[in-house]
Structure 1
Amino acid sequence: MLLTCFLLGCAARAQVQQEVKPLTVKPSDTTKLKAVTINPLAPSKAAFYSAVLPGLGQAYNKKYWKIPLVYAAIGTSVYAYIFNNNKYHAYRDAYKNRLLGLTDDQFSYLDDSRLIQAQRFYQRNRDLSALLVGVFYILNIVEANVDAHLMQFNVNDNLSLKPDLIQNDLTRRQNLGIGVSLKF
Structure 2
Amino acid sequence: MRGLIVILFFVFVNQAVFAQKIEIEEVLIAKDSVVYKAIDPLAPSKAAFYSAILPGLGQAYNKKYWKIPIVYGGLATGIYFYADNNKKYNEFRDIYKRRLEGFTDDEYFGIYSDNVIINAQRTFQRNRSISLLVTLGIYVLNIVDANVDAHLIQFNVNNNLSLKPDLRQDDMTYKYNIGLTLNYSFK
Could you tell me the TM-score, scaled by structure 1's length? 0.74
Residue 136 (1) aligns with residue 138 (2): yes
Instruction: Give the secondary-structure state (helix, strand or coil) at the position aligned to 1:160.
Output: strand
| Residues 183 and 56 of structure 1, relative CA distance in 2, 3 Å threshold | same
Stretches of structure 1 lacking an aligned partner (at least 5 in a row): 1-27, 166-175
Stretches of structure 2 lacking an aligned partner (at least 5 in a row): 1-28, 169-178
Instruction: Give the secondary-structure state (helix, strand or coil) at the position aligned to 1:134.
Output: helix
After TM superposition, the structure 1 = structure 2 runs for residues 43-82 of structure 1, keeping only pairs within 5 Å, are 43-82=44-83
| Residues 128 and 177 of structure 1, relative CA distance in 2, 3 Å threshold | closer
- Give 2:185's aligned residue: 182
Q: Which amino acid aligns with 2:41?
A: P
- Give 2:157's aligned residue: 155
Identity of aligned residues (%): 55
Instruction: Give the secondary-structure state (helix, strand or coil) at the position aligned to 1:115.
Output: helix
Deviation at 1:158, TM superposition (A): 2.4
Instruction: Give the secondary-structure state (helix, strand or coil) at the position aligned to 2:36.
Output: coil
Quote the Cα distance in structure 1 between the aligned partners of 2:96 and 2:180.
Answer: 68
Deviation per residue, 1:84-143 (Å, 9 max, x gap): 000000000000000000010122121101100100110000000011111011000000
- Give 2:93's aligned residue: 92
| Residues 30 and 138 of structure 1, relative CA distance in 2, 3 Å threshold | same
Q: Which has the higher contact order (CA 8 A, sep 6+)?
A: 1
Q: Does the 8 Å contact 1:46/1:145 carry over to 2?
A: yes
| Residues 149 and 177 of structure 1, relative CA distance in 2, 3 Å threshold | closer
Quick check: which has more Rg, 1 or 2? 2
Count of residues in Structure 1 that have an aligned counterpart in Structure 2: 147
Quote the Cα distance in structure 2 between the aligned partners of 1:181 and 1:147.
Answer: 24
Deviation at 1:79, TM superposition (A): 0.4
Quote the Cα distance in structure 2 between the aligned partners of 1:77 and 1:177.
Answer: 40
Q: Does the 8 Å contact 1:159/1:183 carry over to 2?
A: no
TM-align CA RMSD: 2.1
